Each structure stands twice: as C-alpha cells, then as structure tokens.
Amino acid sequence: MSSFIHAISTIFHPIFAFFGFLLAFFYSLIPNYAVAIVLLTVVIMGALTPFTIKSTKSMMSMQKLQPEIKKLQVKYKGPENRQLLNDELMKLYREEGVNPLGGCLPLLLQAPFLFILYSVIKGLSYTKLVKGAVVAEPRYIPHTSKMYENLVHSGGQIKVFGMDLSLKSFSSHGSFAAAIPFFVFVAVAVGLQYFQMAQMNNRNKKSGQTMPSQQQAMQRFLPIIFAYFYLVIPAAVVLYMIVSTIIRIITQDLMFRTGVSNPIKNGVERVLPPAEKSSEASKKAPNTETKPSTLKAQPRSRAKKKRKAR
C-alpha cells in the first residue's frame, strides 16, 4: 500500500508543488495560514466559476422541463414504450440544451482539488525522527520561502489562532475545549451546504418550478455524507470547503438577481409521436356506430287519410 501511495505522490508531485508554491506565495504576502488557504480557494473557485454557472443553468433548466418530462412519461408509460421514452427524453434534452447530469459537475470538479489540497496539507505538516527528535520537513513548498521557515520552527504545526489546521476533528487535541473549533468547522461547512440548497429551492418555489423527488432526496442526504468526510480530513481542507461554498452561494445569488440562471430557450409545445399499443389496447373496441334503421314506414291509417281529405 505504501508503495502505491508513493507512486501516486511521484506522479502528482508537480501538481502538488504548484499549489504549494501558490500557498507559499500568498503566505509571503500575508503571513497567516488561514488567509493563504482562503486566497488559494478564491483562485481555484475563480477557475471553476464558469462550470458553476453552467451547472446552475442546467439544474434550473431541468426543473423547468419537469412538466414536459412528466407528460412524456405519461404518454409513453409501460415497458413496451421504454426505449421510445428514452429517445424522446434525449431529444428533449438536445433541443433545450440541457445536460441531465450537469448539476453534479461542481462536485465532480471539486474532487481533484480536495485530493490535491489534502495531499499538500499533509506534506506541509510532514515530520520525521532524527536522532530521537521530531523534526519538521515540509514538502511541496520552496525551502527558501517564509512559510517553510515558520513550519520548521513550529514543528510542522499549521497554527492559526491556536488551532492546528493540519489536525482532524478526532485527532488528539489535549482537551475537549481545544477540539471544539474543529467540530464548529464541520458544522459550519454542513450548514452552508444546506443553505446553498435552500437558496436553490426558494428560487424554484418563487418561479413555480417543481424539483424532482430524486434531487430532493439527494439534497437531504448529501450534506450528511459530506459531514463524515469533513470529520476525517484536516481542518485546513474543511476551511477550503467553507470558503468555496460561500463563493458558490454568492455566485448563485448574483445569477438569480441578474437572470443569468434563467433558461435561454422558452418551452414550446412539442408534438409527440404516437405510443405503441399494448396487447390489451390493441384489441378492437366494439362497434358502437348507430346503423340506419331498415324498418319500412308503416302505412297511414284510413282515418288519418279521411281527415286529411276533408
């Protein structure tokens, strides 16, 4: 396992060194680890902002298309129409320029940066034993940088206001009070994710759009999954997630206010091809057409004829 990790570190070392260089540069401007991480997060989110805008547009477009999607599902219900339903859904997505998986794009793009930042933070706090003494040997940053000197002096601790950002929530903190800020970080990160989802839901309610039940379920449970993730990663990475979520909230709010998130194409009534008839529906219905009467007209009575003659 250690050889595999070493191989991965060797492959990604240039990337780790690049982000480590950025951290050291921001630290040289403002010698504070938290500020350096925040500035690095701003740079990363700036690069991801176009994808965030595209993802938000895709989510809003998908919700706007829900009435049309339900209409298709009713039209082509049944296993015999499943392929036709899929074809019509793909056609609808192409016509409206919507990617059904576009809402997952920010999370997928965040994963590599989380891995990179996690590896860089571990490298910054790297220590080893030298003649029985623990010596800090920070990795991925220039040895001539101010950050390197301070990390060596602090024994590899990334201290910010008495909080070592290289530690996790369940690391040994010495006391319960020292561990509280780490759990506060996790609570803030999860709370911001719920707030971001509530922001989207409120926007949908105001516009009268319904959200798919699958997406609602994902919104409820995804922050809980991330809560576990936040508990087992260094606080520095949790800080990155907090700042990145705040930036996404601000970006979404600006998109909603300026109307950038509104789908470009307006919904148009589509002509749906006929669905295949099932064996039950293919049975001919009984002929209920009224046939013309074949009864001969009865001759008038003699009394009526006499009264007419008079």
Distance in angstroms (rounded) separating the CA atoms of residues 238 and 86: 40
Q: Cβ contacts of residue 24 below 8 Å, gap of 6+? A: 36, 141, 142, 145, 146, 147, 148
Give the residue among 210, 197, 170, 209 at the shortest CA–CA distance from 186. 170
Give the residue among 27, 63, 59, 23 at the shortest CA–CA distance from 43. 23
Q: What is the mean predicted confidence (pLDDT) over 62-69?
A: 76
pTM equals 0.72
Domain boundaries, the chain: 2-262
pLDDT band at 278, cuts 50/70/90? very low
Distance in angstroms (rounded) separating the CA atoms of residues 273 and 285: 22
Q: Are strands 127-130 and 159-160 parallel, antiparallel or unpaired?
A: unpaired
Report helix angle 33-64 to 235-258, nearest 10.
40
Report helix angle 66-75 to 82-96, nearest 10.
160
pLDDT band at 280, cuts 50/70/90? very low
- State the Rg of the chain over Cα: 33
Residues belonging to the chain:
310
pLDDT digits (tens, 9 = 90+) for 20-49: 999 999 999 999 999 999 999 999 998 888
Q: Collapsing DSSP states into helix, strand and coil, what is residue 66?
A: helix
* Inter-residue contact 28 to 146 (CB < 8 Å): yes
> Which position has the higher pLDDT, 43 or 132?
43
Q: What is the mean predicted confidence (pLDDT) over 280-302?
A: 47
Here the tokens at position 124 are: 């910054």
Distance in angstroms (rounded) separating the CA atoms of residues 24 and 238: 19
Distance in angstroms (rounded) separating the CA atoms of residues 101 and 108: 11
Distance in angstroms (rounded) separating the CA atoms of residues 147 and 166: 14
Distance in angstroms (rounded) separating the CA atoms of residues 86 and 192: 36
pLDDT band at 204, cuts 50/70/90? low
Q: What is the mean predicted confidence (pLDDT) over 116-120?
A: 91
Distance in angstroms (rounded) separating the CA atoms of residues 123 and 165: 13
Q: Is the dihedral of CA 180, 184, 186, 190 positive or negative?
A: positive
